Structure 1
Amino acid sequence: MNVFLPALLLSKLGSSVDARQAVALWPLAANMVACHLVGLLLGGAQVALLGVPQELRAQTVVIPALGNVGNLPLVLVPALLASPGMQAAGVGPNGGAGDLGVAYVMFGFFVASFIQFPVGWLMLQRPEAEPAALAGSSPSLASATLAAGPSVMAAGAVGAALPGGGSTGTAASTAVGGSVAAVATPLQQQQQQLQQQQQQQQQQRLRALAKGIFTPPVIACLLAVPVASVPELRDELFRPAGSLAFLGDVIDRLGAPMIPCLFLVLGANLAEGPGNAQVPMRVLVASCFSKLVLHPLAGAALVLLSLRAGLLPADMDPAIPLVMMIVWATPTAVLVHALATMMQNGADQVASLLFYQYIASLVTLPVFMGLVLQLYTTGQLAPAAYAAAAALPAA
């Protein structure tokens, strides 16, 4: 996947989406941000209303938010664009979209990459182990103080009782103070070592976070837009007569197996089954319902209202609303399970929730796709139609 997906991204984005077009695709970026925000709100509502166990709260919040916005849309969007209903509505290969549908999915995936990994990383962090380490060191400090305390009090009492005992008490206190300092010095060294370990762990976490964000697919996106923005380089790579057409053809062929491989990956994930994790039934049902029913309906309403209110460009490609709506309907990204495994924070429970989500999506996704096709057939997902209606004089 670290070869096929970057190659697909570079070939589709690099040949079609330059910097100017990337700016014009702001509806996809705004839709992706809204998609994740609404998912977080749904997850938070579940935690507040259902009394989710403490150990499952972070996972419950994250699961509705981080959807499969790359792999599944790469399969669904081209299939929908090639359907007779979409072509009859003037959308699809015969309507001018072609490979741009894949490019739109890739652009949305690029934006989501800067949202999903940081959000999942922050939300799925286990409670810090450092406070426990500090608490573990405090008993030794307390025991040292208690051990030295009676000596100090005894020395003070004896010094006060003796004639001229102030000096004797001072000497005794000094002697005992030396023993306390001797005990405190190793404790200070332990605390310094602990602070150094904390700094090293923080640096390692930042490096891991950067590595998780700047994955090979994201790097391919960062390279693709500059390539598309330089017409000479783009033509040399992706035009048949270009001097670098051989390299462009190799990149395109490396990206071609990506979509078929996605079915194998999905099948492999489902073949593992739900596992043995115990997830409360109310949490399981609410997770599937919020992600596969409430989330898509919220997305459809948001896209339709944006079109009716004229918030989206009138000259927008009619395939863009399709991509905007599909990303709301997909189940949770497998990335959530990978992060839960990395953080050792409820990985088995996440695997169980994802399994049942993907099984349920076999029913919900076709229903939602049928709804999208109906909206296109009736002209409700055509930006130009709303713009034309708004331009008509009032009766």
Structure 2
Amino acid sequence: MEFWKLFVVALMPVLKVLLVTAVGTFLALDRFDILNETARKHLNTMVFFVFAPTLVCSSLAETITFKSLVMLWFMPGNVLLTFIIGTVLGWLLLKTTRVPHHLQGLVLGCCAAGNLGNLPLIIVPAVCKERSNPFGDVGVCYRNALAYASLSMALGSVYTWSYVYNIIRIYNSSKISNEVNLDDSLKSHPENISTCSAGALVTTQDGLQTDQVKQLEIECTMPVEPAEVRKSGKIMKQLKILAEKINLKVLFAPATTGAIVGLIIGAVPPFRNLLVGDNAPLRVVEDSVIMLGAAGIPAMTLLVGANLIKGLKGVRKQLPVIVGIVVVRFIALPIIGIGIVKGAVHLGLIHNDPLYQFLLLLQFALPPAVAISTITQLFGAGEGECSVIMLATYSCSAVSLTLWCTFFMWLVL
């Protein structure tokens, strides 16, 4: 297929996303005040607990079987590679730009986690609906696209809420960690408490200089025990702190739970025969879930546009950081992704399905995950900067996604 025709096919889904996103942005403006902060919160709750899990569940249940699940084994590793490589590139960005400490977790998260849920669910099926799509029959292509994108969404949710969530949490909890270390040291060595108390009393009464106070604090935290015991105790404390930081509950987000249920229904023949298909006794249940899930894509897209409104409200831009994240996500990662996916195809690790290969490549070229905005809100750090980063990256993605989708389609055909 000619490059220009591929460009038009790739452009149409991106334009659809932009149009619906623009509607969400206009509805969130103060002049209209329809998708205001309260409305966005309620709609986000509906998407998170109802629309996203039902969409993922119905898509996977209809199209995934045990045989196809075995064929898609490479996708979890591919998604994990996007996170690891993005983190390494983000770490290099931190070293080359002077990013404030409270924003370092946000920058790493934006470089690591791509929007593996919303955009593939919108773009890939929309490509299949185009009359001149290069992936064959529209119906078959659309069903497979929904299945691949749904699995991508589930994997992205797991990695984002386990890997990225804890990166941002650790970076924003360093002060708490230091306080815990000091408190544990005092409890472990009661003989130091009197010294530290006396030091605090002298500090308040006599007004010691800053460097003297720091020296006194260092002396108070120095345990009087052998070096080996001190080292092993320190390691155990760090492991304990790390275990406390990792919140396993967030791994089982509703979308992840929906994916698990959908995979079980699709891969286990008795459940599939009971729920999926025109002759299934309980097909009305599956039809109802499909009806609910159909509202997920437009609701997600409207929310993306509405959430970008925060970036328009005068927050001071971090230009070097924004440029760095754009380079990482839209230039460096896609180039590396081409090498990984084409290398896997050459080694026979990926089956010969152009649509599947297209999605694997697309996973390297997506803007930051929308869930990062939610995570920053949870910790109350870098919310304004996150909105600016989202606005800038999603604006750039209109051009980059079109170009990369065109090139990816040309590459896999």
**TM class, shorter-length:** 0.7 to 0.9
Distance between the aligned counterparts of 2:78 and 2:319, measured in 1? 31
Q: Are residue 97 (structure 1) and residue 134 (structure 2) matched?
A: no
Note closer, same or farther for the CA distance 1:146–1:296 as it changes in structure 2 (3 Å cut): closer
Question: Which of the pair has more CA radius of gyration?
Answer: 1
Aligned partner (choices 137, 141, 156) of residue 194 of structure 2: 141
How far does the alpha carbon of each residue in 1:36-80 deviate from its partner, in whole angstroms, 9 at most, with x for none? 111112101111222333332222222111010000111100111
* DSSP 3-state at the match of 2:311: coil
Letter paired with 1:344:
G
Pair 1:261-2:299 in alignment: yes
SS in 1 for 2:412: coil
TM-score (norm 1): 0.73
1:214 aligns to 2:252 (yes or no): yes
Asked whether the equivalents of residues 59 and 147 of structure 2 are also in contact (C-alpha less than 8 Å), the reply is yes
Compute the displacement of 1:275 (Å).
4.2
The alpha-carbon distance between structure 1 residues 90 and 224, as it changes in their structure 2 partners (threshold 3 A), is: closer
Instruction: Please state if 1:357 is matched with 2:393.
Output: yes
3-state DSSP of counterpart to 2:368: coil
- Deviation, 1:381, is 1.1
User: Using the alignment, how far apart are the partners of 2:378 and 2:412 within structure 1?
Assistant: 41
Deviations 1:169-194 (A, max 9, x none): xxxxxxxxxxxxxxxxxxxxxxxxxx
Mapped to 2, the partners of 1:223 and 1:246 lie a distance apart of: 17
Tell me the CA shift for residue 320 of structure 1: 0.3
Tell me what 1:332 maps to. 368
C-alpha displacement at 1:331, in angstroms? 0.6
What is the CA-CA distance between 1:6 and the residue it aligns to?
Answer: 1.2
Identity %: 22
Shift, 1:291, TM fit: 1.2
Q: Is the 8 A contact 2:51 2:293 kept in 1?
A: yes
Equivalent of residue 68 in structure 2, options 21, 26, 29: 21
**Residue pair 2:318, 2:385 contacting (<8 A) in 1 also:** no
SS of aligned partner of 2:141: coil
- Structure-1 separation of matches of 2:398 and 2:199: 66
What do residues 279-327 of structure 1 show as CA deviations (whole Å, max 9, x unaligned)? Answer: 43211211122212222222233223332x233344x432101111222
The whole-number CA distance in structure 1 between the counterparts of 2:198 and 2:310 is 55
CA contact under 8 A between 1:113 and 1:218: conserved in structure 2? Answer: yes
8 Å contact from structure 1 (residues 275, 352) kept in 2: no
Aligned to 2:310: 272
Aligned residue in 2 for 1:166: none
Hey, what's the Cα distance between the residues in 1 that align with 2:57 and 2:125?
18
Amino acid at match of 1:369: C
- 1:368 is matched with 404
- 2:344–2:350: 8 Å Cα contact kept in structure 1? no
d(CA) in 1 for partners of 2:73, 2:294: 27
Residue of structure 1 equivalent to 2:269:
231
CA distance in structure 2 between the aligned counterparts of 1:318 and 1:60, rounded to whole angstroms: 33
Give the TM-score of the pair, scaled to structure 2.
Answer: 0.70
Partners in 1 of 2:316 and 2:70 — Cα distance? 46
Query: What is the CA–CA distance in structure 2 between the aligned matches of 1:341 and 1:353, rounded to whole Å?
Result: 14
- Tell me how far apart the structure 1 counterparts of residues 86 and 243 of structure 2 sit (CA, whole Å): 30
Question: Cα RMSD between the aligned structures?
Answer: 2.9
Aligned residue runs from structure 1 range 86-125, under 5 A? 86=133, 89-93=134-138, 96-125=140-169
1:140 Cα deviation after fit: 7.1
Query: Could you list the runs of 5+ residues in structure 2 that have no partner in the other structure?
Result: 1-46, 187-191, 202-239
* Aligned partner letter, 1:211: K
Q: Can you give the 5+ residue segments of structure 1 that lack an aligned partner in the other structure? A: 149-199, 383-395
Aligned partners of 1:133, 1:31: CA distance in 2, in Å?
A: 37
Take 2:108 and 2:77, find their aligned partners in 1: how far apart are those partners? 21
- CA offset digits 1:328-376 (Å, max 9, x no partner): 2211011112112212232222221111111111221112122223x1x
Change (3 A) 1:247 1:51: same
Change (3 A) 1:357 1:146: closer
Deviating above 4 A after TM superposition, structure 1's stretches of 4 or more consecutive aligned residues are 133-140, 143-148, 200-206
Question: What is the deviation of 1:16?
Answer: 2.1
Q: SS in structure 2 opposite 1:68?
A: coil
Give the distance between the partners of 1:329 and 1:349, measured in 2 at CA. Answer: 22
User: What corresponds to 2:119 in structure 1?
Assistant: 72
1:124 and 1:345 in contact (8 A); partners too? no
SS of equivalent to 1:15: helix
Change (3 A) 1:263 1:114: closer
CA contact under 8 A between 2:111 and 2:328: conserved in structure 1?
yes
